[in-house]
Amino acid sequence: MMNRRDLLRKGGLAALGLILPPFVGPQFLTRKLLAGATGTGTGLKKMIFIFQRGGNDALNTVIPRGDADYSQVNRPGLFINDAEAVDLGNNFAQLHPSLDPLMEVFNHTSLNGVPGPGNLAVLHRIGYPEQSRSHFSAQQFWENGVPGNETLDEGLLYRRFASVPGFADNPFPGAYLDDSLPVVMRGSIPMPAFPATADYSFSGSLAQVEKFLGALPSTPGGTDGHGFYGVYGGKPDIEGGAYRDILMPTGVKLGESVSTVQQALAQGPYVPENGAIYPNNTFGEQLSEIAMLLKRTPATLLGVNIDGWDTHTGQGRIVGAHPNLLASLAQGIQALSRDLQAQWEDVLIVTVSEFGRTSIENGSQGTDHGAGTTMFVAGGNVVGGVYNCDPTTWAPGSMFTVNDRYLAANTDFRAIFSEIFSGHFGDDPLLMEQFMPGFDAAAVANPELFNPLGFMG
C-alpha cells in the first residue's frame, strides 16, 4: 500500500499546484524585478482585476460594425444599429451604448494634465488555442494561466505577485473581494478574500479579539505562541495533510489581513475623490472598497467578480440584463479612473471573461457559449485605442471561424498578460514561462497569437 508521502507526491500536491517546474530562487527574482521596475510611474505598480464571470457576449460589447455578419439577420433581437452604438473612430469598432461612460477614459486627454491618447485599451478577439466552452474549465484556464490543465489550482496572478520580494511577509499584499479566493490568486502563500470590509472582523471586544488572536511563536512552526496565531503559526498536527499546509498560513493571513483592513476602516468613512460615482450595487460597492484599500493599505493586487454574463435567455439589447451589466462595468471603470487619479500612473485595471458567445442569437433572445472575447485595460500607462477590431486585421467571416459558430481568438490572453507584466510591472520577459508554465511552447506553436499588440506604454 502506498504511504502518505507517495500520495501527496502523486496526487495532492499536484492538485494544489505545489509541484511546478523548479522555481527560480528569490535572489534571482529580486535582481530581475528590481532591474525591470525602473520604468514609468512614481510608486508601486498596482493592478485591479475584474472577472466578468459567465462568458461575456463580446460582439454586443465591442461591436464589429465593419463586419457585415454583425447583422439584424444573425441577431434579430440583439442587433445594435449604427446610430445607437458609440463609435470608436476607426471606421470599424463601436461600443454598446451602455459602455458610454468608458469614453471618458478612452478619450480623455487631460486626466493627468497632459494631452495625449486616452488610457483605455479595447482588446477584441482574446482567447487561446482550442478554447473550452465549459465555464468551469475555461475559468480555470484563464485563472491558472495554463490552458488544458484542469487540475492546477495555482493562479497566474498569484505567481506573478508572489515573485515580488517581500510578498510572503506582507500582511496585506492584496485581496479578492469575494467569499472565497478564486484560483487566479491562489497559491501556497494564501491571500485574503472577503466580500466586504465591514464584516471582515472577529467578534468580541478589542481586548477579547487581542487575546483570542494571541501571538505568533518566536520561530515559524514553534510552540511558544499564544491563541489563534499560536496554533495557526505553530507546530502543525498531522491532520488535514496537504491542506493543513494551506490552512495554517491562511489562519495567520486571516489575522493579519483583518487587522490591516480594520485599521484602514478606522481612518474614517471612505469618500471617493474627483467626483467618482460608483455603480449603486454590490459590484460598485466593492470597487469603492478596492479604491479605499489601494489608498490606505500596502495592497498592490485587488480582484473582484461581476457575475451574471451567462446570458442564454433574454439577454437584452439596449435595456435588460446584459446592458445593465455593461453599464455597471463601464460606470465602475470610469469611477475608478476618477477616484484613483493620484495614483493613475501606477494603477492598471484589467477585465477578463472566460469566453465570448455564439455569433448568432439563439431562440431565447440570448446567446450560447462561444470562443474569442474582449478585454479592457485601463490605466495611466496604457496606450489607448482599439486592438484586434479594425478593417486591417478583421477579415470577413471572422465571426464564424470556429465550428462555423464562433469568433476565433486573434491574440492569446497569455500574450496580453505578458505585455501587462512587462509593460506595467517591468518584469523580465524571460519570467513569463514562470508565471505561465507552457508560455514559451505556446508562443512557438502559435506565433500568430502571440504578436504583441503594443497597448502598454
Segment interacting with other proteins (CB under 8 A) among 57-65, 190-198, 318-326, 332-340: 190-198
CB nearer to other proteins: pick between 165 and 227 = 227
Residues sharing a CB contact under 8 Å with residue 70, sequence separation 6 or more, in sequence order: 59, 63, 64, 79, 399
Cell of 282: 454590490
Q: How far is the CB of 201 from other proteins (least distance, A)?
A: 8
Q: Are 55 and 355 in contact (CB under 8 A)?
A: yes
Segment interacting with other proteins (CB under 8 A) among 82-90, 127-135, 264-272, 338-346: 127-135
1 sits near other proteins (criterion: CB under 8 A): yes
CB nearer to other proteins: pick between 36 and 77 = 77
Q: How far is the CB of 206 from other proteins (least distance, A)?
A: 10
Residues 148-167 interacting with other proteins (rule: CB under 8 A): 149-151, 153
Cell 496580453 found at? 416
Provide the β-strand partners of residue 385: 121
Q: How far is the CB of 319 from other proteins (least distance, A)?
A: 17
Segment interacting with other proteins (CB under 8 A) among 118-126, 216-224, 298-306, 320-328: 216-224
CB nearer to other proteins: pick between 404 and 440 = 404
| Distances 445 to 129, 312, 403, 422, 436 between C-alpha atoms, Å | 10, 34, 21, 21, 15
Backbone phi, then psi, for 269, in 5-degree steps?
A: -55, 140
Residues 390-429 interacting with other proteins (rule: CB under 8 A): 403
Residues 236-255 interacting with other proteins (rule: CB under 8 A): 236-241, 243-244, 246-248, 250-251, 253-254
Segment interacting with other proteins (CB under 8 A) among 39-47, 80-88, 110-118, 187-195: 187-195
Segment interacting with other proteins (CB under 8 A) among 4-12, 100-108, 409-417, 432-440: 4-12
Could you give the CA distance from residue 76 to residue 95 in angstroms, rounded to a whole number?
18
Tell which one of 55, 230, 316, 385 touches other proteins (CB under 8 A).
230
362 sits near other proteins (criterion: CB under 8 A): yes
309 sits near other proteins (criterion: CB under 8 A): no
Could you give the CA distance from residue 295 to residue 277 in angstroms, rounded to a whole number?
17
Segment interacting with other proteins (CB under 8 A) among 7-15, 31-39, 344-352, 443-451: 7-15
223 sits near other proteins (criterion: CB under 8 A): yes
Closest CA to 283 of 226, 351, 217: 351
Q: How many of the chain's residues bind other proteins (CB under 8 A)? A: 84
Q: How far is the CB of 345 from other proteins (least distance, A)?
A: 30
263 sits near other proteins (criterion: CB under 8 A): no
CB nearer to other proteins: pick between 239 and 448 = 239
Q: How far is the CB of 380 from other proteins (least distance, A)?
A: 31
| Distances 257 to 147, 222, 349 between C-alpha atoms, Å | 32, 22, 23
Q: How far is the CB of 74 from other proteins (least distance, A)?
A: 14
72 sits near other proteins (criterion: CB under 8 A): no
278 sits near other proteins (criterion: CB under 8 A): no
235 sits near other proteins (criterion: CB under 8 A): yes
Tell which one of 27, 38, 180, 392 touches other proteins (CB under 8 A).
180
257 sits near other proteins (criterion: CB under 8 A): yes
Q: How far is the CB of 230 from other proteins (least distance, A)?
A: 5
Residues 10-49 interacting with other proteins (rule: CB under 8 A): 10-12, 14-16
Tell which one of 97, 173, 214, 437 touches other proteins (CB under 8 A).
214
Q: How far is the CB of 64 from other proteins (least distance, A)?
A: 23
Q: How far is the CB of 281 from other proteins (least distance, A)?
A: 15
Instruction: Count Cβ atoms below 10 Å from residue 445 Cβ, excluding itself.
Output: 11
Q: How far is the CB of 409 from other proteins (least distance, A)?
A: 17
